[in-house]
Chains A and B, each alone.
Chain A
């Protein structure tokens, strides 16, 4: 594992990165990938992928196409495509997605619902 933070390459379009010293208290919405290294409280509504890096702390309900969590999420996650919980992440909340991956070492507490018809 490299010394620097593991960054998953966003797939689509422009990159939005919320750096580690940033604290957002409110709502985030958008049509592109979002990488969070800081803290977000409130609500996240994306049409693309959300990457919560290891320094990321989210206290929000998340609605998106894809989520990859390496940091902390407290809130419900609804994804139309996939949710991936990587090692060392910590997620508390319900997850609803057609595909869910939970890596060895991830911490998760909540309900899982893989029965999503039609998605977002």
Chain B
């Protein structure tokens, strides 16, 4: 028995309440509440419950985790895993069947995002629309462009599916 491979095991009937720190792998089959900090891997087995702020290198969640998890390497939520809290880790894997609610932060993800609560693109009264300017930069230059009535941005023209429009990239901030 014992730590053949340097793993600490918290058995099913054990409850630890407080702060737990360690330099080895930890498998939770029971319950840990408070804070959990490891330089290695945390495995929460299906019977395990962790209600804590977790800071580890790797985390595999097959049980229940309520709290925020920060992992320097990876977080995986398995099919039986359930988590409520925020994840901060460069690698996150959520398997089909897992349950999760919270935010995920993998660092910078460089993707163009739609504006929040996108405007309905259609059903606009017929306003004189400016000609599509090839170098249309967004909100700022409200200079005297006589072509355009002072509009903050170019509204997207309604388009039938599959139609090819001139490729005007309007970057709205």
> What residues make up the interface of A, taking CB atoms closer than 8 Å to B?
5, 7, 9-10, 13-32, 34-35, 37-38, 42
Chain B residues 6-45 with CB under 8 Å of chain A are 6-24, 26, 29-30, 34
In the docked arrangement, what's the CA distance between A14 and B1, Å? 10
Q: Could you tell me if B10 and A16 are in contact, using CB atoms closer than 8 angstroms?
A: yes
> In the complex, which residue of chain B has the Cβ closest to the Cβ of A45?
B15
Q: A30, B30: Cβ atoms under 8 Å? A: yes
Cα separation A24 to B6 with both chains bound (whole Å): 16
Distance, CA A21 to CA B16, complexed state (A): 16
29 contacts between A and B (CB under 8 A): A13-B11, A13-B13, A14-B13, A15-B1, A16-B10, A17-B3, A18-B10, A19-B3, A19-B6, A19-B8, A19-B24, A21-B22, A22-B20, A22-B26, A24-B21, A25-B18, A25-B19, A25-B20, A27-B16, A28-B14, A28-B16, A28-B17, A29-B15, A30-B14, A30-B30, A34-B11, A34-B14, A35-B1, A37-B2
Whole-angstrom distance from the CB of A63 to the nearest CB of chain B? 14
| C-alpha spacing A57/B78, complex, angstroms | 35
**Number of CB contacts from chain A to chain B under 8 A:** 94
Interface centre among A15, A19, A25, A37 (most CB of B within 10 A): A19
Known interface pairs A22-B8, A22-B21, A22-B26; A29-B14 also in contact (CB < 8 Å): yes
CB interface residues, B 82-105, toward A, < 8 Å: none
Chain B residues closer than 8 Å to A14, beta-carbon distance: 9, 11-13, 29
Candidates B1, B14, B30, B34; contact of A26 at CB < 8 Å: B34
| Contact assessment for A26 and B13 in the assembled complex, using a CB-CB cutoff below 8 Å | no
Q: How far is the CB of B12 from chain A (nearest CB, A)?
A: 6
Q: Report the interface size class on chain B.
A: 20 to 34
Please determine whether A22 and B30 come into contact, CB atoms closer than 8 angstroms. no
**Closest A-B pairs by Cβ, 10 of them:** A26-B18, A16-B11, A30-B14, A21-B23, A31-B13, A22-B22, A19-B8, A14-B11, A7-B2, A30-B13
Expressed in whole angstroms, the Cα–Cα distance for A20 and B13 within the complex equals 21
Closest chain B CB from A4 CB (angstroms) = 8
Give the Cβ gap from B51 to chain A, nearest Cβ, in Å: 13
Instruction: Tell whether, in the assembled complex, residue B22 and residue A17 are in contact, meaning their CB atoms are under 8 Å apart.
Output: no
A-side contacts of B19, CB under 8 Å: 24-26
Q: Is the pair B11, A32 in contact by a Cβ cutoff of 8 Å?
A: yes
Question: Measured between alpha carbons, how far is A27 from B14 in the docked complex, in Å?
Answer: 10
Neighbouring A residues of B16 by C-beta, 8 Å: 24, 26-28
Besides the known contacts A23-B21, A30-B13, 19 further A-B residue pairs in the complex with CB atoms under 8 A apart: A14-B9, A16-B10, A16-B14, A19-B3, A19-B8, A21-B24, A22-B26, A24-B20, A26-B19, A26-B34, A28-B16, A29-B14, A30-B11, A30-B14, A30-B30, A32-B12, A34-B14, A37-B3, A38-B22
